[in-house]
Amino acid sequence: MKQDLLNFLHWTPEQLFPLLELAKQVKQSPVEYQTKLAGKAIVGLFEKPSLRTRLSFDIGINKLGGSFHYLDSKQDKLAGRETTKDTAANIGCWADAIVARVYSHETLQVMAKSTEVPVINALCDLYHPCQAVADYLTITEAFGDVQKPQIAYVGDGNNVAHSLMIVGAILGAKINVVVPSGFEPDKQVIEQSAALAKQYGGVIEVTSGIENFTQADVIYTDTWLSMGDDTPLEEIKSQFAPFQLNQDMMQKTGAQFAMHCQPAHRELEITSEVMDSQQSLLMQQAENRMHGQNAILLTLLNCI
Ligand code: CP
Ligand code: NVA
């Protein structure tokens, strides 16, 4: 049976740790994997812009001997021409997998149901699972173990926070999500990740307000306004300003490292001083997008 990757919610540590291990192997020994996707065609269907996701899939797939076929659903005038169901079913006639970046998670669910080939979530309103794989690979490289560091996510309780929580909970990580009041992660995601953490030995905490945020080994942040959110920046800026990842926050919490999925907005959610410092893991995360996704493709397409 084909396996989609929409959000990792149903994965176990016995599946996730080997996925991270495979990503490490692909990174360390690229030559061993250079023909593993030979003859495989992967279609990238994007409703929103992307630098990292699009290119890391494209280049990564090429490095494994496969081919990537990018469709911009707006530019190519695909949106509205036929149903999502029909689009996905047709792509499945030629391709071996679909990588899709969409506005609504429901679009991915419809796609997954309508096609014979795996559908991989390249970001939606609720989740960014490929990002989380790169992030935990990066944390493993920085600390030797995902369970050791106290991880803090500071800022908006968004798609990136959700996937960090879900994947972290399954891996047994300790995460404190620190957000302005009213910008908490989705209630269901909090409940689901808390239950997974309980099952697998992780800790997921959500803290509204910055006052009690005093300790972290690594601090992660993301944009205050995600793609598709038209709220004017001025409306939310003052609420988010105390959550800026800056040198003062790094020092006060004793954090060794800073993380951000990028694109970053310098001097808003993160300062240049932190982003360009020795403590920044941002480019390591960006590089690991490719290795993590290659591991995902090799696993879902049974090409290991
Ligand atoms: N982090 C990330 O997904 O970046 P892009 O939006 O550029 O793909
Ligand atoms: N939360 C951001 C992540 C971008 C990679 C967004 O959805 O726009």
Q: What percent of the chain shows pLDDT beyond 70?
A: 100
Q: Say yes or no: 139 and 227 in one domain.
A: yes
Q: Ligand 2: which of 226, 259, 269 to mutate, judged by most atoms within 8 Å of the beta carbon? A: 226
Domain-embedded: residue 6: no
Q: Per-residue pLDDT averaged across 208-224, rounded?
A: 97
Report the CATH number at residue 119.
3.40.50.1370
* Per-residue model confidence (pLDDT) at position 67: 98
Q: Say yes or no: 277 and 136 in one domain.
A: yes
Q: Say yes or no: 165 and 176 in one domain.
A: yes
Q: Ligand 2: which of 261, 262, 282, 285 to mutate, judged by most atoms within 8 Å of the beta carbon? A: 261
Q: Say yes or no: 201 and 270 in one domain.
A: yes
* Per-residue model confidence (pLDDT) at position 8: 97
Nearest residue CA, atom 2 of ligand 2?
A: 226
Closest ligand by atom to 292 CA:
1
Q: Say yes or no: 187 and 220 in one domain.
A: yes
Q: Tell me the residue range of the domain where 62 lies.
A: 13-128+286-300
pLDDT beyond 90 at 216:
yes
Nearest residue CA, atom 3 of ligand 1?
A: 53
Is 50 a pocket residue for ligand 1 (Cβ < 6 Å)?
yes
Q: Per-residue pLDDT averaged across 262-272, rounded?
A: 98
pLDDT beyond 90 at 80:
no
Number of domains present in the structure of the chain: 2
Is 159 a pocket residue for ligand 2 (Cβ < 6 Å)?
yes
Q: Say yes or no: 27 and 118 in one domain.
A: yes
What tokens appear for 10 in the block?
A: 């149903």
Closest to 153 (Cα-Cα) out of 163, 141, 140: 163
Which pLDDT band, with edges at 50, 70 and 90, does 256 fall under?
A: very high
- Residue 263: cis peptide before it, omega within 30 degrees of 0: yes
Domain-embedded: residue 7: no
Q: Per-residue pLDDT averaged across 263-280, rounded?
A: 98
Nearest residue CA, atom 6 of ligand 2?
A: 226
Q: Say yes or no: 184 and 266 in one domain.
A: yes
Which residues are paired to 176 by β-bridges? Answer: 152, 205
Q: Say yes or no: 111 and 243 in one domain.
A: no
Q: Say yes or no: 151 and 88 in one domain.
A: no
pLDDT beyond 90 at 218:
yes
* Per-residue model confidence (pLDDT) at position 79: 79
How confident is the model over 133-182, as pLDDT tens digits? 999 999 999 999 999 999 999 999 999 999 999 999 999 999 999 999 99
Prediction pTM value: 0.98
Residue 173 falls in which region: left (phi positive, over 0), alpha (psi -120 to 50) or beta: beta
Q: Say yes or no: 27 and 111 in one domain.
A: yes
For residue 263, CA distances in Å to 47, 204, 250, 258 come to 17, 25, 20, 14
How confident is the model over 33-77, as pLDDT tens digits? 999 999 999 999 999 999 999 999 999 999 999 999 999 988 877
* Per-residue model confidence (pLDDT) at position 181: 97
Residues 6+ positions from 37 with CB-CB distance below 8 Å: 61, 64, 65, 66, 297, 298, 301, 303
Domain-embedded: residue 1: no
Domain-embedded: residue 296: yes
Q: Per-residue pLDDT averaged across 269-291, rounded?
A: 98
Q: Say yes or no: 212 and 260 in one domain.
A: yes
Q: Say yes or no: 137 and 257 in one domain.
A: yes
Cα(211) to centroid of ligand 1, in Å?
30
Cα(224) to centroid of ligand 1, in Å?
15
How confident is the model over 188-214, as pLDDT tens digits? 999 999 999 999 999 999 999 999 999
